[in-house]
Amino acid sequence: MGMGGGNRGGGRTTMSEINVTPMVDVMLVLLIIFMVTAPLIQQGVKVNLPETKAAPVEATEKKVVLSIDAGKKVYIGDAEVPLEELEAKLAANAKVQADKEVFLHADRDVPYGTVVEVMAAAQRAGINNVGMITDPSTGAKTSNTQSTSKKPKEAKR
């Protein structure tokens, strides 16, 4: 008579199966939402990053510092090194190979691609850790319009 299974006594039995149709519907809606929003997340949004206050890290021993000035010149310590020779110089440096660590000090106006090239040369030379040296802000919080209009300070070496 109905879908009661094997019970023909006229009484109703409970159905012990879960209806998965609503769950599949919800999952398909979530899949569509993620498919629509994923390309928007990958494009990114242009923002002015805030300046932060960070306590300086105290160094107990002298570390190797790679510097890049505004003219895209690369230095190991105070010695200028052409970008093409950087990987070989880092691979030959005993202190760098022992520590497997360098610190990168780049001018604010250096293009991102140049910084990435220097980091890639360091990685090819077998350096696992690259630290970034920044100048911590000493002033009070500034608004985005003030921080973008400020002229960057020259880094001291």
Distance from chain centroid for Cα 92: 29
Per residue in 1-33, pLDDT (tens digit) is 445 555 555 678 887 888 899 999 999 999 999
Residue spans per domain, the chain: 65-133
Beta bridge partners, 84, equal: none
Nearest to 83 by CA among 110, 55, 60: 110
CATH class for the region spanning 65-133? alpha beta
DSSP 132: E
The confidence score (pLDDT) of residue 27 equals 96
Q: Which residues of the chain have a pLDDT value below 50?
A: 1-2, 44-50, 139-157
Structure tokens at 49: 């990053």
| Number of other residues whose CB lies within 10 A of the CB of residue 85 | 13
Which pLDDT does position 98 carry in this prediction? 86
Contacts of 100 (CB under 8 A, 6+ apart): 126, 127, 128, 129
Q: Phi/psi at 152 (nearest 5 deg)? A: -65, 145
CB-based contact 129:100 (threshold 8 Å): yes
**pLDDT in the model for residue 28:** 96
pLDDT value at residue 128: 86
